[in-house]
Structure 1
Amino acid sequence: MSNNFTCNINSIRFDENYQPANSTRLTTNFANLARGEQREDNLRKTLKMINNRFNALAIWDNPTADRYSVEVDIISAEMDVEGNGDAFPVIEMLKTTIVDHKTNTRTEGIVGNSFSSYVRDYDFSVVLLEHFDKNPSCPPPEDFGELHGKLFQYLLNSDAYQANFNKLPVICLSVSTTKTYQRTTNEHPVLGVEYKQDEYSLTDDYFHKMGLTVRYFMPKGSVAPLAFYFAGDLLSDYTDLELISTISTMETFQKIYRPEIYNANSAAGQVYQPSLTYQDYSLTQVAYDREERSQLAVKQGKFTEEHFIKPYQEILENWAANYDVKQIVA
């Protein structure tokens, strides 16, 4: 049985006037920030943090540290399984654009950055929880994340993605609190000092099934390494400004979302294990409801089960069993 799912790409600007779409995955950082009485103040402060961090890293020919600003767009990918116009919002990412106020030019940044997925919520908040309830000491099922991984790779190889983006995504997330990271002697001029670990986390394995490799870097001025997931060559496929746009955007979100790690008052040492129980950290001035985020992850997972997994289960299973994973191309 062969199915060709239809993919559509939509974009909305993330600025102080941003209003979350009705179809957005509400557990995402940017949607959480854009609700409530402080929404406009939250958004302004978040964007200011991104711009300040960008200029702190792009220091060449930038003596007053205000040469650049970053525009952020939310990219939503929808998938129509049956070709009847009933599209399901599968994945959301961010795309950056770099504005150079000295030359009055705009340069594309990187697509990816943040990563939000209904199917990922289903996998972690429904499948995994049910599995551990029944088998608390057993590892996840062997096929855990395989459908999601193939859907992601199908999206990247789709005409819709190819028409909108000329490079593969880089996704930048927090490091795992269950793993210990060792500082290496490798240092990149933009990404900073590289860290390594001996064993992949569950998230690392999940992204590996999406065709992505992970490396961990702590940029200059950062206090903890970030996890960078990519499909090509992270160090040679992207320019310095592109990498800086990802660092400045995602470190800002992590400072807001996980201040215990990314807004700690001391930097990671030679051997580092992140912890959300760490007490010596500073809060940003941006209001963020982390409890709501965790509650909504379960709700979104159940929503996905009801509106995507169960209605199309036979189609999805047959498609996944026969889908030949191709090399991801830009």
Structure 2
Amino acid sequence: MTNSAFAFTISSVPFDEDYRPADRTRITTNFANLARGECRRENLRNTLAMIDNRFNSLMHWDNPTGDRYAVELRIVTADLTVGLRDGAETFPLIEILATTVVDRRSGERHDGMIGNNFSSYVRDYDFSIRLAGHIRENPDGGAPDGFGELHGNLFKRFLASAAYRDRFPKPPVICLSVSSRETYRRTANVHPILGVEYGTDRLSRTDDYFARMGMRARYFLPPGGVAPLAFYHLGDLTGDYSNVELASTVATMETFQKIYRPEIYNANSPAAEHYRPSLSRQDYSLTRIVYDRDERSRLAVEQGRFAEQHVIRPHGAQLERWSATAGL
């Protein structure tokens, strides 16, 4: 199969209080999980209000009433088409978020961050199916050989594609939770938006996975936050992005983390100088947003199996050859 038999396309939908996940949406994502059930509209309204409030707390100068800005979100889906014409198959490969910041005073709209959340069917397969099976057979064996290479190369191909470059002028920044398996140490480095930088002596499994995507991690505890976030990026995180862009990703992703990892991100006391996150911590507060974390874990396995059945088994070898040799 030639390179022309693979193509990326991008679509997007608003994430607002009227959002309803499409059938093809990867439903373990933060935003899709919140948008189902009896409390869906209230969940969405409260989540968006939390994001706006957090953004205004970070962008507080010349903002005395703390309500100057609003953050708009769009869910961006990258589809991969495999094959030509009548025999082509299209799969949702990656979902990320794009933010836009609205200045209510001037009416101006500013580009926020592209990336933020990161969802991927192939990543579900890697962690929930491939890695889980490998660990069952090799409890002390670490990750399987080549773990994350296909996903990493597909991600690089996506960023290099005309579909991405024609739409977004900068590489994405992905913002996730820090690992509960690692210890993080506070440094003397402080950024006005990202906050206090933390460091760690070794890469977590997620850090290593994102490294295969060409991204490296930095960890910051934002002003007013209680735990550091992991920022995965290409290039210069603090030099390539404006305060508006950085504040939009902190506001968005810290809000999601407060909802589904409250033990870490809605704890009642901030991270210490030497900090190891724990989901067993009891000293935390809940938000007023309904979220089913157990369901999310079950769905990750189901979606990993979907990727195995529809992507990895029928097309994995071809995708590996294409993604690894397409001039990256």
Same fold (TM over 0.5): yes
Corresponding residue number in structure 2 for 1:328 = none
Task: Look up the SS of the partner of 1:283 in the other structure.
Answer: coil
What is the identity, as a one-letter code, of the residue corresponding to 2:3?
N
1:228 maps to which of 228, 231, 247 = 231
Whether the aligned pair in 2 keeps the contact of 1:79 and 1:87 (CA below 8 Å) is: yes
Corresponding residue number in structure 2 for 1:57 = 58
Corresponding residue number in structure 2 for 1:48 = 49
Q: TM-score, normalised by structure 1?
A: 0.97
Aligned partners of 1:120 and 1:88: how far apart in 2? 14
By how many angstroms is 1:2 displaced? 4.2
Task: Look up the SS of the partner of 1:312 in the other structure.
Answer: helix
By how many angstroms is 1:321 displaced? 4.4
Aligned partners of 1:173 and 1:118: how far apart in 2? 17
Whether the aligned pair in 1 keeps the contact of 2:153 and 2:324 (CA below 8 Å) is: no
Corresponding residue number in structure 1 for 2:141 = 138
Aligned partners of 1:77 and 1:266: how far apart in 2? 39
Corresponding residue number in structure 2 for 1:277 = 280
Identity in percent: 59
What is the identity, as a one-letter code, of the residue corresponding to 2:98?
K
What is the identity, as a one-letter code, of the residue corresponding to 1:225?
P
Alignment of 1:2-151 (within 5 A): 2-4=2-4, 5-84=6-85, 85-151=88-154
Post-superposition Cα deviations, 1:233-287, rounded to whole Å, max 9, x if no partner, equal 1001111011000000000000001000000000001000000000000000000
Aligned partners of 2:184 and 2:326: how far apart in 1? 35
By how many angstroms is 1:314 displaced? 3.0
What is the identity, as a one-letter code, of the residue corresponding to 1:41?
E
2:307 maps to which of 294, 304, 308 = 304
Aligned partners of 2:19 and 2:130: how far apart in 1? 33
Whether the aligned pair in 1 keeps the contact of 2:157 and 2:323 (CA below 8 Å) is: no
Task: Look up the SS of the partner of 2:166 in the other structure.
Answer: helix
Corresponding residue number in structure 2 for 1:197 = 200
Aligned partners of 2:60 and 2:32: how far apart in 1? 31
Aligned partners of 2:209 and 2:127: how far apart in 1? 10
Whether the aligned pair in 2 keeps the contact of 1:2 and 1:322 (CA below 8 Å) is: no
Whether the aligned pair in 2 keeps the contact of 1:150 and 1:323 (CA below 8 Å) is: no
Aligned partners of 1:118 and 1:167: how far apart in 2? 24
Whether the aligned pair in 1 keeps the contact of 2:3 and 2:326 (CA below 8 Å) is: no
By how many angstroms is 1:318 displaced? 2.4
Corresponding residue number in structure 1 for 2:221 = 218
By how many angstroms is 1:87 displaced? 1.0
- How many positions carry a matched residue from both structures? 325
Post-superposition Cα deviations, 1:99-120, rounded to whole Å, max 9, x if no partner, equal 0011111111011000000000
By how many angstroms is 1:163 displaced? 1.2
Whether the aligned pair in 1 keeps the contact of 2:173 and 2:232 (CA below 8 Å) is: yes
Task: Look up the SS of the partner of 1:318 in the other structure.
Answer: helix
By how many angstroms is 1:322 displaced? 2.5
Runs of 4+ off more than 3 Å:
none
Aligned partners of 2:8 and 2:320: how far apart in 1? 18
Aligned partners of 2:283 and 2:49: how far apart in 1? 24
Task: Look up the SS of the partner of 2:151 in the other structure.
Answer: helix
Structure 1 unaligned blocks of 5 or more: 326-330
Q: TM-score, normalised by structure 2?
A: 0.97
Corresponding residue number in structure 2 for 1:159 = 162
Structure 2 unaligned blocks of 5 or more: none
Measured on the aligned residues, the alpha-carbon RMSD in Å equals 1.0
Which sits farther off after the overlay, 216-225 or 314-323? Answer: 314-323
Task: Look up the SS of the partner of 1:260 in the other structure.
Answer: helix
Corresponding residue number in structure 2 for 1:267 = 270
